[in-house]
Amino acid sequence: MDDHPVHQVAEPIRNVGTSDRNFYDRYYFNCHPRRSSHPCRSSEVETTPWFIFGLGVYPNLGVTDCFVVVRRGDDHIVVRGSRALGADRDDLRVGPFRTEVVEGLARLRISLEPGHGDVSFDLEFTADAPAALEPRHFQRQLERVTFDTQRFVQTGDWTGSITVDGTRYDVTPEEWRGNRDRSWGVRPVGEAEPPGRRAASSDDASFFWIYAVMRFDDFAVVSIVQEKRDGERVMDDARVIWADESRGVQWLGRVEHDVTFHPGGREPASATLRFIKPSGATTTVTAEPKLANYLGFGTGYGLEQDWRHGMWQGDEKVEALRLKVSEIDPTMKLFCPVDHLASFTLTDADGIVHTGEGLFEFAVIGPHDQYGFRDYVDVAPEM
């Protein structure tokens, strides 16, 4: 790439524009059955895999790593890999894992060879809508920039196969869809750093997060909310992305949320999102989470101290693990985002109703005034 006129700073492409150890460059994909072929009722959804794959490059840590996590019934199945980053940042192989950009912003292929755990796959993602940039994600704690990231999102269909416990699932565009994103920049990765003065800071460390990617017949809606304990917004965005690229991307308004929780935890039973424009025009979405994928467990998002994104594992390492969802410590679930396969009902500003499906990623970590959580281990009351 250094022979192409694409440089952004006075460095080779191999070197990023900051020496911050937390710089990362990441792919995320999910794959799930369409409602039309597998109606979103929990008993039917649980018989098919709810599949998530991620790959990250960490130039200043010298690491590339990846994971696949599948939720099927009560099974939480993970295969993960890590290797030393070579001179070519575009080499997206990690042991038996492969990621390939077949056609930029249109088609990508991901695969995992059999024999490295209870999951293997060979899948190609084909976009059904243009990639859309999301707002810049920036947050500072004291003088330290903790988040400075950019991301784009894209919906699409899948072709190929997934094998789980010896059962092969043929994946066709008529029956399987999902979304992907690409993000890069600075956010906490790898082993925790000494916090310095931040350990004594009274800055709000609470984290409330909604990231919803909703696919309807002719368009997708992406909504992002991050806020502090008192509701002050770090991010607030809702946009419609039309499958017809000529219609562009349109802002839907500021976001309001009303979440109902399952008793005894912080997992959403349902959620209502309202996108309100200054004119008062309101788009309303009801989300119904159907199946949770606890991607924080075993994949590197920070719950285990021996495997974190960007953590040095040696020149190459591949591991597999398996958990029962029913046996996961409920307290640990309070400390990571959860990706829910969900159905959505959208009523637009003209009163027209649309139904769809997709991702409802949710977390409320720490105190949160709106929902009555006073500390990190408070849960929704029993009925």
DSSP string, 182-239: EEEEE---SSPPP-GGGGG--S---EEEEEEEEE-SSEEEEEEEEE-TT--EEEEEEE
pLDDT grade, residue 349 (50/70/90)?
very high
pLDDT in tens, 192-209: 888 888 778 756 689 999
pLDDT at 61: 96
pLDDT at 82: 98
Percent of the chain with pLDDT over 90: 88
Percent of the chain with pLDDT over 70: 96
The mean predicted confidence, pLDDT, of the chain is: 94
How many helices and strands in the chain, by DSSP H and E? 1, 23
Residues comprising the chain, all counted? 383
pLDDT in tens, 226-271: 999 999 999 999 999 999 999 999 999 999 999 999 999 999 999 9
Domain locations along the chain? 24-144+151-191+205-365
Closest CA to 241 of 342, 134, 157, 130: 130
pLDDT in tens, 25-65: 999 999 999 975 544 455 555 679 999 999 999 999 999 99
Closest CA to 66 of 104, 11, 14, 121: 121
Q: Is the dihedral of CA 167, 173, 176, 177 positive or negative?
A: positive
- CATH architecture group of domain 24-144+151-191+205-365: Beta Barrel (2.40)
pTM: 0.95
pLDDT in tens, 89-148: 999 999 999 999 999 999 999 999 999 999 999 999 999 999 999 999 999 988 889 999
